[in-house]
Chains A and B, each alone.
Chain A
Amino acid sequence: MQALTNRARPVERKPMTFVERLYLWNIFKGMLITLKHFFKRKATISYPEQTRPFSPVFRGLHVLNRDEQGRERCTACGLCAVACPAEAITMEAAERKPGEENLYREEKYAAKYEINMLRCIFCGLCEEACPKDAIYLSETFAPANYQRKGLIYGKPDLLIPNPQEQPEEYKQALGNRANKQHQAN
């Protein structure tokens, strides 16, 4: 059979040498290995005091984005739901009434927008599919929950804080990753 990588090594079936059969020598070698690790740098991070930086491509919990004036960007086109391989997204569209222009950017908006976090595989395809820059995978984890229904996130869970009223929180929720993409756009 052709080797898949150049790292494949055939199994050694040589009979053991006398030293190997003594076993103690090998134990000694193993003990040297563990002793070496005794003095190695520790891989642990003391969690609450130190946190590990997220990788620039980390995909965490979703946020539904707003524009600079605090209007929801989502137009309920359903592209994200179609793109989602896990079929985690469901939504209901509604028409914007006169006087709601400060709430929604387009004439159509998502009255209901749900992501089932139990199904989501955090692939980020929804983010890629969205033509309106409306959905982002941010840099937070989805917290655990005791019930299934607690893991079906509705709009209140997903919507980003208003950039006009809570600029700090907005920035934080958007995270570095979205910022980068904003600049690229």
Chain B
Amino acid sequence: MYSTLLAFDWLFLIEKLVLIVGIVSISLVIAMYETWAERKVAAFMQDRRGPNRAGPMGLLQPLADGLKLFMKEEIIPNTSNRMLFILGPCLAMLAAMMTSAVIPWGGKIDFFGREVNLQIADINIGILYIFAVVSMGVFGIMIGGWASNNKFSLMAALRGASQAISYELPMGLSLIALLMLTGSLKMSAIVGQQLDGTWNVVYQPLGFLIFLICAFAECNRTPFDLPEAENELNFGYHQEYSSMKLGFYLFAEYINMFISSAVMATLYFGGYDIPGVNDAHLTETVGVNLMALFQALTLFAKIGFFIFLFMWVRWTIPRFRYDQLMNLGWKKLVPLALANMIITAAVVLWLKK
């Protein structure tokens, strides 16, 4: 008994703990500055300046916003189910954070002779795990709407949940086509293949497009941002929420955006692959650690582009009507994704022969 405990690789535990703390705090900081970036991008696209009073270039604005949210009165409606009411935002946040566990953030680093993978868990069902956790986000929505004990919140929660579920289908289908190419569910393997070869987006442009659209819908971003339709659709599932609990819901959305950008970059855009560079070659010249840094930076650059894309689209396209949203999901995206899947399957079979 004791010997097994001692034989346990304690360094492994510490390494993973450090990684988890690091990645979680990085996601939080990025989500914080996404709110700032969102306002800046919005302003620039509308010929305004955006936040520029708090700190240089308004960089302290997220802190001010956070403080404001904390200082606001916290209201829990009398008739609500107290426990679920608090559980809702927590679940949303949890689901948003948990996805980051299987994303490879870079290659290996060499830490005093110890090889450390920049990935919390390199499980061999990586993509399935992401899907499982993402669909848990629906609980956050549903519980939030249900616990408020308000029929409008409940309707909005149903709306949000059906949207999330509808778009998860084509998302999964478009992924299946990708998996046929890679032959593995393991995130590190998918990135590894792209390191040597071409990025998956070259083989799967349609699949990527479908995935992108579904990612927009899953993150509740425009044109699918029905929860934000305060005046025409009576807000979303978080109608009764105030103060930091509302902040949690909104924050979870920003984390979702970051994570889905990371997933898209990993699955379709080569992950931490530096374009136009022979990785093995460069590793020899600059060393393992520096290489890992470069790779992580590349990944973050790609993520940054996708986050910008999210915002760019938000300030361009008007919101879908609810029936349009459902039509697009079920009548357009699902058949398209199916076709994409079948064509990919046929091509893969034909090439193998």
Say yes or no: is B48 at the interface (Cβ < 8 Å to chain A).
yes
Inter-chain CA distance A40–B44, complex, in Å, is 8
Total count of chain A residues near the partner, CB < 8 A: 15
Query: Does the CB pair A40–B312 fall under 8 Å?
Result: no
Q: How far is the CB of A70 from chain B (nearest CB, A)?
A: 43
Q: In the docked arrangement, what's the CA distance between A38 and B44, Å?
A: 5
Nearest-neighbour CB distance to chain B for A52, whole angstroms, equals: 15
Q: Does A31 contact B49, Cβ atoms closer than 8 Å?
A: no
Is A46 in contact with B312, judged by CB distance below 8 angstroms?
no
Q: Which of A15-52 contact B (CB under 8 A)?
A: 24, 27, 30-31, 33-35, 37-38, 40-44, 46
Other-chain residue from A33, A35, A38, A46 in contact with B49 (beta carbon distance below 8 A): A46
Whether the Cβ atoms of A33 and B47 lie closer than 8 Å is: no
**B317/A41 in contact, CB under 8 A:** no
* A24 (CB) vs chain B CBs: closest residue: B209
Which of chain A's residues 74-119 have a Cβ closer than 8 Å to chain B?
A: none
Mark interface residues in B23-54 (1 if CB within 8 Å of A CB, else 0).
Answer: 00000000000000000010011111100100
B315 interface residue per 8 A CB criterion: yes
- Do A30 and B48 have beta carbons less than 8 Å apart? no
**Chain B interface secondary structure, helix, strand, loop or mixed?**
loop
Minimum C-beta distance from B308 to chain A (A): 10
Within 8 A of A (CB), among B266-323: 312-313, 315-317
Complex interface: chain A residues within 8 A of B209 (CB): 24
A26 CB, min distance to chain B CBs, angstroms: 10
Q: Whole-angstrom distance between the alpha carbons of A131 and B297 in the complex? A: 75
Report the bound CA distance from A44 to B47 in whole Å.
7
Bound CA–CA A34/B313 (angstroms): 9
- The answer on a CB contact under 8 Å between B49 and A37 is no
Is there an interface contact between B317 and A44, defined as CB atoms closer than 8 Å?
no
A44's partner among B41, B49, B312, B313 (CB-CB below 8 A) is B49
Contact A31 B44 (CB under 8 A): no
Expressed in whole angstroms, the Cα–Cα distance for A170 and B29 within the complex equals 54
Give the residues in chain B near A41, CB-CB below 8 Å. 47
B44 touches A37 (CB 8 A): yes
CA distance A13 to B312 in the complex (A): 30
- Checking A24, A35, A40, A46 against B47 with a beta-carbon cut-off of 8 angstroms, the contacting residue is A40
Contact between chains at B316 and A30 (CB < 8 Å) = yes
B-side contacts of A37, CB under 8 Å: 44-47
Which residues of A have CB within 8 Å of B49?
42, 44, 46
Instruction: Give the shortest distance, in Å, between B186 (CB) and chain A (any CB).
Output: 32
* Distance from A38 Cβ to chain B, minimum over Cβ atoms (Å): 5
A149 to chain B, nearest CB (A): 33
Q: From A37, which residue of chain B is reached at the shortest CB distance?
A: B45
Contact A42 B312 (CB under 8 A): no
Residues of B close to A24: CB separation below 8 A: 209
A38 vs B43: C-alpha distance when bound (angstroms): 8
In whole Å, how far is A128's beta carbon from the nearest beta carbon of chain B? 38
When C-beta atoms are compared, the residue in chain B nearest to A38 turns out to be B44
Listed by A's residue number, 21 A-B pairs whose Cβ atoms lie within 8 Å are A24-B209, A27-B313, A27-B316, A27-B317, A30-B317, A31-B312, A31-B316, A33-B316, A34-B315, A34-B316, A37-B46, A37-B47, A38-B44, A40-B47, A41-B47, A42-B49, A43-B48, A44-B47, A44-B48, A44-B49, A46-B49
Query: Which 10 residue pairs across A and B have the least CB separation, nearest first?
Result: A34-B316, A34-B45, A43-B47, A44-B49, A30-B316, A38-B44, A31-B316, A44-B48, A37-B45, A42-B49
5 new A-B contacts, CB < 8 A, other than A31-B312, A38-B45, A43-B47, are A31-B316, A33-B316, A35-B312, A38-B41, A43-B48
- Residues of B participating in the A interface, judged by any CB pair closer than 8 Å: 41, 44-49, 52, 209, 312-313, 315-317
